[in-house]
Amino acid sequence: MEDFYVTIPYGLVVLAGGVAGYLKRGSAASLAAGVGFGAALLLAGALSAWAFAHGGGGAGAVFGTVLQIVCAVVLTVVMGVRYVKTRKIMPAGIIAAISAIVLIFYVYKVSTGGNKVYIPVSAE
């Protein structure tokens, strides 16, 4: 499975969580973090998908990989610490758990060589 199949939904979940935090509690910090990290993850997923569709590799693919790993690490650590301090499963525990699972997937993808090269099937 290619990484953008995980990164794009993950980015949408983070983005939606930030918007939901703002709408429910009026938290501008939730909105800023959710939109910032969600947009960064969506960008990383788009770069990864673009690189995959165009034969893989390149600076865009490397930047997308680094960006998605950095976002997953930061969200895992920040929300994990917040969960430990507050013991509130929502949102800190959920986002920390999802981010940790996604981070494990990213480490697996990098350790196995990343996305495979896309070879289009010729239309005959």
Question: What CA–CA distance (Å, rounded) separates 12 from 50?
Answer: 18
- Beta carbons of 14 and 37 less than 8 angstroms apart: yes
- pLDDT category at 117 given cuts 50, 70, 90 is low
35: tokens are 């939109």
Looking at per-residue pLDDT, the higher value among 118 and 50 belongs to 50
- Beta carbons of 2 and 48 less than 8 angstroms apart: yes
* pLDDT for res 120: 64
Average pLDDT, the chain: 91
Report whether the peptide linkage leading into residue 91 is cis, meaning its omega lies within 30 degrees of zero.
yes
Question: What CA–CA distance (Å, rounded) separates 79 from 37?
Answer: 13
Rg (CA), the chain: 16
Taking residues 71-88, report their average pLDDT. Answer: 96
**Does residue 113 register a pLDDT over 90?**
no
